[in-house]
Amino acid sequence: MSNAIHIATREYAENARTKGFWINMLMFPIILLLSVKVPKLLEEKAKPIRQFALVDQSGQLGDIVRDAVERDYARLVMEKIGTYAQTYAKDKAAVSAETLEKTAMPSDFAGRVKEFMDYNEELMQQMMSPEAIEMQLSMIKPSLVEDAPEFEMPRRRYDEVDLSGLTGADLDLATAEPSEIVRALRPALVDDERLEGMEQPLFALIVIPPDAFEQILDPSIGNMANAPEPQDGIQFWSTNLTDMALSNLIERALDRELQKREYVANGLDPKQVSLIRSTTFQFSAFDPKKKEGEEAVSVADTMRKWAPVGFVYLLWVAIFTVVSFLLNNTVEEKSNRIIEVLLSSATPWEIMVGKLLGIAGVGLTMMTAWVLSLLGVLKFIAGPEVEWAGALFEVIQSSGLLPLFALYFVCGYLTYAGIFLAIGSLCNTVKEAQNFMGTATVILMVPLFTMVFVAQDPNGALATFLTWVPVYTPFVMMNRAAADPPMAELLGTGALMLVTIVFMLWLSSRIFRIGVLRTGQPPKIVELVKSLMTPLNNQ
Amino acid sequence: MSSQDALVLDGLTKRYGEFTAVRDVSLRVPEGSIYGFLGPNGAGKTTTIRMVLDIVKPTSGTLSVLGAPTAMAVRERIGYLPEEKGLYKKMKAWAVIAYFARLKGVSGKEAKQRAHELLERYGLGAFADKKVETLSKGMGQKVQVLASIAHKPDLVILDEPFSGLDPSNQQVMEDVISDLNKAGSTIIFSTHVMSHAERICDRILLIAKAEMVFDGTIEQAKALIPRLVRIGGVEASRLRSLPGVGDVMPSEESPGVFEVVVADGHDPQEILRACMREGIELSSFESGEPTLHDVFLHLVGDDAKVAAYR
């Protein structure tokens, strides 16, 4: 058996030295880190200030839009002050597992705050005055660390363009047809030419017609089915169809204004309305499986239910990464004829066991690196800006998912390793092997397609059915890990999986024996079965 | 020791379904000898070697390798170079050699040391730390040969060791073989190039169309075909009257020259002396040893020609 160990050692050392291995190992934490950091960075640094032009012919709604943009900036400033305070706080409020266990799943709290602010312009404006900001900063100063840098005001997200210098000036913005205005500004919008003093294309043009208040959808007069034409209403022009933030912001503000006027017209105080709209029931979720008195569903609970999905994905990637190493190595040895030298030094069984062990080692190393870097990255990015990271860290650490992850990796690996090894032994080039795989790949992807559905209904029919398919058992069981599947099912599918693994390895070793010495095209299935039935001395 | 046989084959046969790759091969390879497996491509040399190494199972027949019933039982004492050459491309030259030595039971430290020694001895010291993929084809092949002998095997089996090597490397290969032989190893190698076999083999097995055609020493092989002398400038009828002359045939290549078969128990010098004595004036007299190539053509005939064109 010492030869199996030598072969395993070489497989491990050689594969751990390949670029592919290191790329796989490092990509995961890097992608994880980037996926958290880059969007923030882009938002802060790279995303340009969106410049928009506003033509208000109604004379009433222009300032509503401007105020909404201002409020948006105010919210941004407040957010930044909050982050600033937490980032440089003397004692950071760490997100502990305990607090998470107690934190109920938030309902739409942020939405309500936003709405409250929309109705309380004066409050907002007060908070935004330079003095008010100065005061807020001086209030938090004592709780900050000594060497905290000065607070920097964030960049504005949106900026209005002054249209008074618009050339071709036989256009009177106050009276021109919307279509004329659009025609005049189209070159700037599609970036054929730049407006004076602008370094970037015009992001958006908002045109509010004089009779905007007549072009409304009003259920009280029943015109919903017979709505005004789009070109008669308020128009938002932009080539960017994906960044909807500005159009949403403006639309909400304008609608709010319209509704406010309606409230007033009906004798209601808009402030009162906003307070009323912010009044809700206490509505909480409970889990009957939890300990009595602590049944309220917490953030941690929710994360625990979803964390397995992430692990299923990692499991899948890890298993199919390493078994493809196995496939490629076997094909290489076969096409190089190294296999013949190996066969003169070791039995086919020893070669197979050696390869299986060596590559298993590669896989375990990769997974350990992934898990450690996952935990490391979570710990590193955890903080006021990404609270969930700290929470997820605690959940993963305390959930007992990691040992299961390792267990199901080994099971899944052994199930598939034999198949891939056997395929590798029958093929002379990687391309042939890929052809051989063909549609099988789709079958292998089932655990990925179903992982979300299984997580949503972990003990449902789909989950149970897939668990009983041995080649899916490791993935689906990982998927269901947080939902305590029935013991009978656990044992039954576990036993079936073991039987499958033993059978697969036995079958693969037979195919491997025959395959490694074959030359020419991979055999047809019928030929393969025939040669499996033939005694060895006739092969 | 020398009285023992390193390899004994008895009635070895291999069939793949209807196709017979090797039929009823029996032979003995004495310990310490250099033994050549000769034959055209596809004759069954490689299959025979694979059976010897226990890579494929014989359909019938028995063998004894270094006294054991299968090569697997004594694998640490056998070295093998397969016909098609290849190595792990990403490994360093010394590491490949050390790895295969380790598989043959050499300890890690010892294997590394031997790898470096061997590379040094055969002029590859500077490439020890180079990856195999950066070596030239000839160098790679040398590395593979060294990998197959680093564990100092008692029996070395080399399948077509000379193919793909340039003349100077072919010489190195011959040196490797004779070095090993001096160190006490038994060597079996297969080739279809007769000149190598003629220079270094003690004994040969000639195999064609799955069957053994000849087994014995080179001298015995050469004795199988009649000796010829080529004589020019004399009538065929006069030649026939001389003592020691067997058949006389006009040469196909040069007109006026006859190929004369030297009769059994006579030698070419006798015929030359008889010509002198009779006062026959010869324009040419050529007498050469038959080569193994001639024997090969004589025994294998048309098969060899077909094979040569492949």
For A128, A424, A433, A474, A512, the CA distances from A327, given in Å and listed in that order, are: 63, 5, 8, 21, 12
Q: Which residues lie across from B52 on neighbouring strands?
A: none
pLDDT band at B35 (very low <50, low <70, confident <90, very high): very high
- B5-16, strands of its sheet edge to edge: B60-65, B5-16, B19-30, B211-217, B203-208, B34-38, B186-191, B155-159, B78-81
pLDDT at B60 over 50: yes
Q: A256-313: per-residue pLDDT in tens?
A: 889 889 889 999 888 888 778 778 788 888 888 777 777 777 777 777 788 888 889 9
For residue A421, give how far its alpha carbon lies from the nearest alpha carbon of chain B (Å). Answer: 18
Question: What CA–CA distance (Å, rounded) separates A347 from A3?
Answer: 9
Mark yes or no for CB contact A340/B58 under 8 Å: no
pLDDT at B187 over 90: yes
Q: What is the pLDDT of residue A168?
A: 58
Q: Which residues lie across from B7 on neighbouring strands?
A: B29, B65
pLDDT at A378 over 90: no
Element (H, E) at B287: strand B284-287
For residue A373, give how far its alpha carbon lies from the nearest alpha carbon of chain B (Å). Answer: 28
Indicate whether B230 belongs to any domain.
Answer: yes
φ/ψ of residue B246, rounded to 5: -95, -125
Which residue among A17, A335, A341 places its CB closest to the CB of B80? A341
Q: A79-125: per-residue pLDDT in tens?
A: 788 778 777 777 665 555 556 566 665 555 556 666 666 666 667 76
Is B184 in the same domain as B161? Answer: yes
Indicate whether B206 belongs to any domain.
Answer: yes
For residue A11, give how far its alpha carbon lies from the nearest alpha carbon of chain B (Å). Answer: 11
Q: A455-469: per-residue pLDDT in tens?
A: 888 888 898 999 999
Can you tell me which residue has the tokens 């941690």? A300
Indicate whether B221 belongs to any domain.
Answer: no
Is B19 in the same domain as B29? Answer: yes
Q: What is the pLDDT of residue B309?
A: 37
Q: For A86-90, A111-115, A324-328, B299-303, which range has the lowest pLDDT when averaged over its residues? A: A111-115
CB atoms within 10 A of CB B204: 26
Q: Which residues touch A40 (CB under 8 Å, ≥6 apart)?
A: A385
Mark yes or no for CB contact B84/A337 under 8 Å: yes
Which residue among B72, B89, B148 places its CB closest to the CB of A341? B148
Is B204 in the same domain as B187? Answer: yes
* Long-range residue pairs from B167-176, CB within 8 A, at least 24 positions apart, any chain: B169/B138, B169/B141, B169/B142, B170/B196, B172/B122, B172/B123, B172/B142, B173/B145, B174/B199, B174/B200, B176/B122, B176/B145, B176/B149
Is B16 in the same domain as B164? Answer: yes
Indicate whether B52 belongs to any domain.
Answer: yes
Is B55 in the same domain as B158? Answer: yes
Mark yes or no for CB contact A337/B90 under 8 Å: no
Instruction: Write the CATH number for B243.
Output: 3.30.70.100
Number of domains in chain B: 3
Indicate whether B277 belongs to any domain.
Answer: yes
Question: What CA–CA distance (Å, rounded) separates B133 from B90?
Answer: 6
**Percent of chain B predicted with pLDDT > 70:** 96
- pTM score: 0.73
Indicate whether B309 belongs to any domain.
Answer: no
* Cα-trace Rg, chain A: 32
Domain holding B95, by residue range, is 85-152
Which residue among B17, B75, B83 places its CB closest to the CB of A344? B75
Average pLDDT over residues B95-117: 93
Question: What CA–CA distance (Å, rounded) separates B56 from A539?
Answer: 8
> Could you say which DSSP state residue B68 is in?
B
Is B91 in the same domain as B117? Answer: yes
Instruction: Write the CATH number for B5.
Output: 3.40.50.300
Question: What CA–CA distance (Å, rounded) separates B215 from B203?
Answer: 7
Q: What is the pLDDT of residue B126?
A: 92
Mark yes or no for CB contact A338/B88 under 8 Å: yes
**b or e along B283-293 (b: 16 or more beta carbons within 10 Å of the residue's beta carbon)?**
eebebeebebe
The full set of domain ranges for chain A reads 2-27+292-538, 49-93+106-277
Mark yes or no for CB contact B90/A14 under 8 Å: yes
Indicate whether B295 belongs to any domain.
Answer: no
Q: What is the ipTM, given to two decimal places? A: 0.79
The chain-wide mean pLDDT, for chain B, equals 85
Is B94 in the same domain as B61? Answer: no
Indicate whether B194 belongs to any domain.
Answer: yes
Is B120 in the same domain as B252? Answer: no
Q: Which residues of B touch A537 (CB under 8 A)?
A: 57-59
Question: What CA–CA distance (Å, rounded) separates A264 from A257?
Answer: 11
Q: Touching check for B59 and chain A: CB below 8 Å? A: yes
Mark yes or no for CB contact B16/A536 under 8 Å: no
The chain-wide mean pLDDT, for chain A, equals 82
Q: What is the pLDDT of residue B79?
A: 92
Q: Which residues lie across from B23 on neighbouring strands?
A: B211
